[in-house]
Amino acid sequence: MTGSQAPSVWQGTVLVAGRELGELRRNRQVLFQFVVFGTVFPVFLALTLRPTGGAPQNFAFVVIAIAPHLGTLPAILQAFVGERAERTLAPLLATPLANQSIFLGKVLAVYLPALCVGALGLGIFATTVALSPPEQPNLPALPPGVTPESLGFPTVQPGVTAAQLGEAFALSLAVGLAVLVLGIVASTRTNTVKSAQTLAALLGLPIYAGVAFLSFRLTSSPLQVLTGALIAVPVLLLALFAVARKWRREEAILGRAGRARAG
């Protein structure tokens, strides 16, 4: 690449993503959430729920997989409407980067770390469950030589299957993309971070309700949940790429009110 040649879309995307990751590392709120959701929270759920299958374990899977994405919603709003309000987007006008590179770089810098934190949390949860001692049945004191197994009450060894981890990770892919779309929509419809947060909270109600529903559907219809998540991922990706093609940095800097005055 020469000095007069503009970077390609994907080269520009990597450059912008690196810049945004640097900004993300300075966001203590997001970093704290990553540490909690990726390490502390999975261990806490594994030790307190003592999951051996069923709704409690599925609830833990869903929460661990999607909590990092929900926690990055403020970072998504800051990457668009926040920078517009603080006028830190203006220097991007002077760069030779394509609009798609700026948009995709900002999106990837938020999405990929949250996805990695969710995967790390699932791994820590599964490991903690596997290392937990077998769950003993709640029985009164037994005479010497009498074991729960001899009475027909076998101990239960907690465990997590690869299929369960795959389903949870597929949900993480889909919900993370949905949160991205939610944050971008809220950013394009408002001019301040506070109003964007309010709109995102309202628009996010269907996502939160759907997540609660899926945590129970994993017990009875895990294949349906996995299929739905895998269908949602390409649909949401197409929506993001469509927005990226139409996104213009000038409009992002002017904001909604600025575009109205310009018109």
Domain ranges in the chain are 9-134+160-258
Exposure class string for 32-68: b at 16+ Cβ within 10 A, else e: ebbebbbeebbeebbeeeebeeeebbbbbbbbbbbbb
Q: Is residue 66 a contact partner of residue 172, using CB atoms and an 8 Å limit?
A: yes
In this structure, what is the dihedral angle of CA atoms 84, 21, 12, 82, given to the nearest 10 degrees?
-10
Determine the pLDDT at residue 262: 42
Determine the pLDDT at residue 123: 92
**How far is Cα 192 from Cα 81, in angstroms, rounded to an integer?**
6
Structure tokens at 261: 């005055």
- Cβ atoms within 10 Å, residue 245: 10
Nearest CA among 147, 64, 76 for reference residue 111 = 76
* pLDDT tens track, the chain, 263 positions: 445 577 788 888 898 889 888 888 888 888 898 999 899 999 998 888 765 555 567 778 888 888 888 888 777 877 777 766 666 666 666 678 888 888 888 889 989 999 999 999 999 998 888 887 666 555 566 667 666 556 555 555 566 778 778 888 888 888 888 888 888 877 777 777 777 778 777 777 777 777 667 666 665 566 777 787 888 889 888 988 888 888 777 666 655 544 444 44
Q: Which amino acid is at 47?
A: L
**How far is Cα 73 from Cα 66, in angstroms, rounded to an integer?**
12
Terminal C-alpha separation, the chain: 38
What long-range pairs does 94-99 form, CB within 8 A, spacing at least 24?
96/6, 96/7, 97/6, 97/7, 97/12, 97/15, 97/16, 98/6, 98/9, 98/12, 99/244, 99/247, 99/248, 99/249
Determine the pLDDT at residue 129: 83
Task: Compute CA 195 distance to the chain's CA centroid, rounded to the nearest angstrom.
Answer: 22
Nearest CA among 61, 65, 71 for reference residue 32 = 71
